[in-house]
Amino acid sequence: MLIRRTYEDGALALALDSPANRNALSARLVGELREALEEAGKDPAVRFVVLGHTGTTFCSGADLTEAPPMGPPELVRLLRTVVELPKPVVARVDGHVRAGGLGLLGACDIVLAGETSSSFAFTEARIGVAPAVISLTLLPRLDPRAVSRYYLTGETFGVREAVRIGLVTAPDDASGPVLEGLRAASPQGLAASKALATEDVRAAFARDGERLAALSERLFSSAEARERIAAWRR
């Protein structure tokens, strides 16, 4: 299993547990995570989900070693599952997040990150592709000027900048009040409030999901991207 599950006092903790490949988004990991989320959505004992990780990387993005790689529609489906889950999903990051992993953060309702250990970067342009599918969860949430800078340059940035641009909610030392607040809320109140907060993101999936999945497939299958990915593998 690539998803570790633990339960405590209304919270289901799901940990990405594939540290050997830096919790890359393989077809297996994506499928197991989606299944765990769907089960959580139906379980009345689960009030909210906490999404974490093992190892020093939360998620490194697409698994570029898979052959064939996971298709973009599967990533769209996973991100949409997080956004449309009727229960809050809190990401707790204590490591590096790259590329597609950032889309997973964008899908979560609250993101908490350790200041000394966490870093973020959009690295897609460097291998000839673009942050296409993950834009569904990120463009409605992030500062537009920051999107232009970090999508294009691939620079690495830290927690304070991630908070400023809207990628991270707060440093991880805010976890106590956040989790206490979620436990104090009613299930109906949480579901209705989440639906309001995610209106723009859900609209992006309905409007642009198929188009951005097709763009991602086209870029990944291009000669330029194949050459860049092959060089990265070496």
Q: What is d(CA 10, CA 68) in angstroms, rounded to the nearest whole number? A: 38
pLDDT of residue 200: 98
pLDDT at 70: 86
Active site positions, annotated: 124
- Residue position matching structure tokens 């540290």: 19
- Identify the pLDDT of residue 66: 86
- pLDDT of res. 233: 75
48 three-class SS = strand
Q: What is the DSSP string of 97-159?
A: EETHHHHHHHHSSEEEE-TTT-EEE--GGGGT---TTTHHHHTTTS-HHHHHHHHHH---B-H
Amino acid at 193: S
Residues 154-185: tens digit of each pLDDT: 999 999 999 999 999 999 999 999 999 999 99
> Is residue 187 packed enough to be buried (19+ CB in 10 Å), middle (13-18) or exposed (0-12)?
middle
25, HSE (Cβ side, Cα atoms, 13 Å) = 26
Low-confidence ranges of the chain (pLDDT < 50): none
